[in-house]
Amino acid sequence: MTDIPKKIAGRYHIKELLGKGGFGAVYRAEDELEDREVALKVIRTDASTDPRGTRSRSLEGSSSHSSSRSRFGRYSRAGSRTNRKNFTSNPSPAPTDDVTEAFKDEFLLLTRLHHPNLATVYEFGRCDEFDGVYFTQELVEGVYLSEFLEAKSRELIVDVFVQLARALDYIHALGMVHEDIKPTNVLVTNHSGQAQAKLIDFGLARVLRNGPEGETGEDEDNDIVHGTPGFSAPEKIRGEKTDSRSDIYSLAATMYAAIRGSKPFPSRDFEEALRAQKDWRPELAGALLKQAGPVVAELIGRMLNPDPERRPQSARSIVLELLRREPSHIRDRQDNQEDRAEFARVFVEHLPFADRQSYLDLLLTRATDVLLPELSAESSRSHGNNRLIRAVIIEAPEGMGKSRLLGELRREIQIGGGLFVESSCWTTERTALGAFGPVVLQLATALGERSKVIADYAELLQLARDRGTDESAAGRLMEFLIAACRERPYCLHLSELSKGLSEFVRFEQLARAIDHNAAPLLLCGSSIPHTKLGPLLATLARDQLAENWSLRPFTRREMHFVLQGVLGETPAIRELVKALDNLTGGHPLSFRETLRVLIEEGILARDADDWVFRSNSPAAQNLHQTLAQRSEARLDSQGVSAWEIASILYLIEAPIEETQLAQLSDLRKSRFRRAIDRLEGEGLIVRSTTSATSHITLAHESVREAVRRRYADSLDETRLDLATRIDDLEVIDSNFVFLKVRLLDDAAEGLEAVDALEEAAAGLFAVGQAQLGANVLERLIRRLRMHGGTAAIPRLLEAKLLLLNQGSGALDDPRREIAHYEAGILLAELMRDFRAQSLFWLGLADRATAEVDDDMELTLFRLSRAAAAAQRARDRVLELRISNRRAEVLLSAGEIEQAGSYSRKAMEILDLDDANDVDVCHIIGVRLRCLSLSGQLGEARRLHEMGKPIAARVPVVQRQSYLSGIAFLAVLGGDPDRAIPETLQAIDQVRAARVPRLLHTPLHNLGDLYLRAGQLEPAALAFNEAIDIAALFGLDQAVHLNRGFLGYTLARLGKVEEGAVKLTAARRSMQQGSGDQVTLQQLRLLDAEVAHMMGQTPRARRELEEMLADFHSTNEISFVHWAQDALARIERDIGTNFIESASIPEVASAPDEDTVRTRPIG
Query: Is 85 within any annotated ligand binding site?
Result: no
Could you give the angle at the alpha carbon of 922 between the alpha carbons of 917 and 926, nearest 5°? 145
Q: How far apart are CA 11 and CA 123, in angstroms?
A: 11
Q: How far apart are CA 1128 and CA 1023, in angstroms?
A: 27
Q: How far apart are CA 1027 and CA 1035, in angstroms?
A: 9
On whether the CB atoms of residues 1047 and 1066 are closer than 8 A, the answer is: yes
> Residue 298: enclosing H or E segment and its boundaries?
helix 294-303
Beta strands at 490-495 and 419-424: parallel, antiparallel or unpaired: parallel
On whether the CB atoms of residues 132 and 226 are closer than 8 A, the answer is: no
Determine the length of the chain: 1162
Q: Which amino acid is at 1154?
A: D
On whether the CB atoms of residues 156 and 174 are closer than 8 A, the answer is: no
On whether the CB atoms of residues 254 and 182 are closer than 8 A, the answer is: yes
Q: What are the CA-CA distances from residue 93 to residues 99, 131, 1088 (Å)?
A: 10, 13, 68
Q: How far apart are CA 171 and CA 157, in angstroms?
A: 22
Q: What are the CA-CA distances from residue 251 to residues 93, 496, 883 (Å)?
A: 39, 37, 70
Q: What burial class does residue 967 get, using C-beta atoms within 10 Å of its C-beta: 0-12 exposed, 13-18 middle, 19+ buried?
A: buried
Q: At what angle do helices 876-892 and 834-852 cross, to 10 degrees?
A: 20
Report residue 955: phi and psi, to 5°: -55, 145
Task: Round to the nearest angstrom and report the end-to-end CA distance of the chain.
Answer: 80
Q: How far apart are CA 832 and CA 825, in angstroms?
A: 10
Q: Which amino acid is at 306?
A: P
On whether the CB atoms of residues 945 and 985 are closer than 8 A, the answer is: no
Q: How far apart are CA 224 and CA 57, in angstroms?
A: 4
Q: What burial class does residue 777 get, using C-beta atoms within 10 Å of its C-beta: 0-12 exposed, 13-18 middle, 19+ buried?
A: buried
On whether the CB atoms of residues 751 and 783 are closer than 8 A, the answer is: yes
On whether the CB atoms of residues 535 and 502 are closer than 8 A, the answer is: no
Q: How far apart are CA 1031 and CA 1144, in angstroms?
A: 36
Q: How many helices (H) and strands (E) does the chain have?
A: 50, 21
Please name the residue ranges forming H helices in 145-196: 145-149, 154-173
Q: How far apart are CA 722 and CA 706, in angstroms?
A: 20
Beta strands in 596-740 (DSSP E): 604-607, 610-613, 656-657, 685-690, 693-698
Question: 914-919 long-range CB contacts below 8 Å, 24 or more apart?
Answer: 914/877, 915/877, 915/880, 917/950, 917/953, 917/954, 918/954, 918/958, 919/877, 919/880, 919/881
Q: How far apart are CA 918 and CA 947, in angstroms?
A: 12
Q: What are the CA-CA distances from residue 865 to residues 800, 834, 840, 855 (Å)?
A: 19, 11, 10, 16
Q: How far apart are CA 1131 and CA 1151, in angstroms?
A: 11
Looking at the DSSP assignment, which residues form a beta bridge with residue 8? Answer: 12
For residue 782, the tally of other CB atoms under 10 A from its CB is: 12
For residue 502, the tally of other CB atoms under 10 A from its CB is: 9
Residues annotated within a binding site: 41
Residues annotated within a binding site for ATP: 41
